Structure 1
Amino acid sequence: MIEHDVSEIKNWRKKLDLTQGELAKLSGVSQSMIAKIESGLLDPTYTKAKAIISTLERLEKKEEKQISEVMQKKIISVKPDNTLKETIDLMRKNSISQMPVIEENNLLGIVSESNILDAILEAKSYDTKITEVMNECPPTISVTASIDVASHLLKHYPLILVSKKGKLIGIVTKADILNAAYK
């Protein structure tokens, strides 16, 4: 069953920056058929409409970037026995605002500037262990996940961890997604 209306073909094709001829060739139909469909002069058969729409869907999926293209591969983390002071120093040195708390390849949680600021406002000592102020673990997604999936998760979490076969291989933040959008 076709989930898209043939009236969407023209806008969809333009969004993918395709000419009528290119879409026709990739779909196995004539360029004049694409032109007639887009102008509303021809109502294509189910088979032809399915071929065109399947081509557009395939091209759209191919164009979608994967998270592996934007993730930070260098994972800067703290250990649970690091202090607030050590964590602040590490964040400043690396110009980051949050990082995972990891011990022996086990993810324990995440610490952010907000956690640290709250601890300072609560008059906690700079010698306080980071485990006393960290948050729970953020979500982990597959290295093959799309940027769209990550973007939706980043509305609720400050960062997302990226894994491959159960091993942590990267981190994605809102800044990484925004940087990718403007490249």
Structure 2
Amino acid sequence: MFNELQEIKHLRKKLGLTQGELAKYAGVSQSLIAKVESDSIDPTFTNAQKIFTSLQQLSEKEEQKAVSVMNKNLIYLEPTDSLRVAIQKMKKYSISQLPVLEQKKAVGVISETAILDALMNNKSADTPLLEVMSEAPPIIDTNASIHVVSHLLKFYPMILVAEKGKLLGLITKADLLQVAYK
């Protein structure tokens, strides 16, 4: 829960709410919100709790979910595909990494870096991806928050998005940045 009374005005404005709207949602008067924001009154613990709980619930409701930023065009490879096929697909779609799926289940990731490493280590372009792919990326639910997505992308090159076990799309750092700067 939020812990500073001085944050109320900032959080309310960030959510695009008027004092009256916040008051109605929190079950307090608009004048109480105005007085708390102007620091002319200290609310009771109960009223402060109502206001902060309302702000928290409203901010969670406003937060974007994985489904709103995921790339629904799921381009993938299979473990038996060769490095050559991976290179061709990456060039065709101008992407630097692809999930590797087997029977619609994630089994790995292949990236430009992994391909370059394999070729530099004298692997043939006909080498199957199974021999050079990285571990499978995490799979999150469509309702996972953007906060969760951004945290996972610090550690993984991509995240797969699924609903009831069915893969629906993926999210990369580029997808997240595109949404952030719309």
User: If the TM-score is normalised by the length of the shorter chain, which range does it land in?
Assistant: over 0.9
Residue identity matched to 1:145: A
- The equivalent of 1:55 in structure 2 is 54
SS of 1:110 mapped into structure 2: strand
* 1:177 matched residue in structure 2: 176
Report the Cα distance in structure 2 between the residues aligned to 1:157 and 1:98, rounded to whole angstroms: 11
Shift of 1:21: 2.5
* 1:120 CA displacement: 1.9
Distance, in Å, in 1 between the alignment partners of 2:119 and 2:109 is 17
Q: CA–CA distance in 2 between the matches of 1:10 and 1:140?
A: 37
Q: Which aligned pairs between 1:9-24 and structure 2 lie closer than 5 A?
A: 9-24=8-23
Q: Identify the residue that residue 45 of structure 2 maps to in structure 1.
A: 46
After TM superposition, give the deviation of residue 3 of structure 1 in Å. Answer: 5.0
| CA distance, structure 1, for counterparts of residue 168 and residue 142 of structure 2 | 8
Who is 1:110 aligned against? 109
Deviations 1:84-133 (A, max 9, x none): 11110011111111111112223221101110111122222111111111
* C-alpha deviation, 1:19, in angstroms: 2.3
Q: Mean alpha-carbon deviation: is it higher for 12-21 or for 86-95?
A: 12-21
* Aligned counterpart, 2:87: 88
1:133-172 equivalent positions in 2, closer than 5 A: 133-172=132-171
Matched residue SS, 1:17? coil
User: 1:129-175 deviations in whole A, cap 9, x for unaligned?
Assistant: 11111001111111110111010000010000111112221111011
Amino acid at match of 1:101: V
Cα displacement string for residues 34-60 of structure 1 (whole angstroms, at most 9, x for unaligned residues): 111112211111221122112111110
Report what 2:67 is aligned to.
Answer: 68
Stretches of structure 1 that go unaligned for 5 or more consecutive residues are: none
Match of 1:77 in 2: 76
The 3-state SS of whatever aligns with 1:119 is helix
Aligned to 2:120: 121
Residue 131 of structure 1 aligns to which amino acid in structure 2? L
Q: TM-score, normalised by structure 1?
A: 0.93
SS at match of 1:6: coil
Aligned residues: 182
Give the fraction of aligned pairs with identical amino acids, expressed as a percent: 53
| TM-score of the aligned structures, taking structure 2 as reference length | 0.93
Deviates more, 1:54-63 or 1:148-157: 54-63
Shift of 1:12: 1.3
Counterpart residue number, 1:30: 29
Shift in Å at residue 5 of structure 1?
Answer: 2.6
Cα distance in 2 between the residues matched to 1:56 and 1:106: 39
Distance 1:32 1:78 in 2: 60
Letter in 1 for 2:86: T
Letter in 1 for 2:108: G
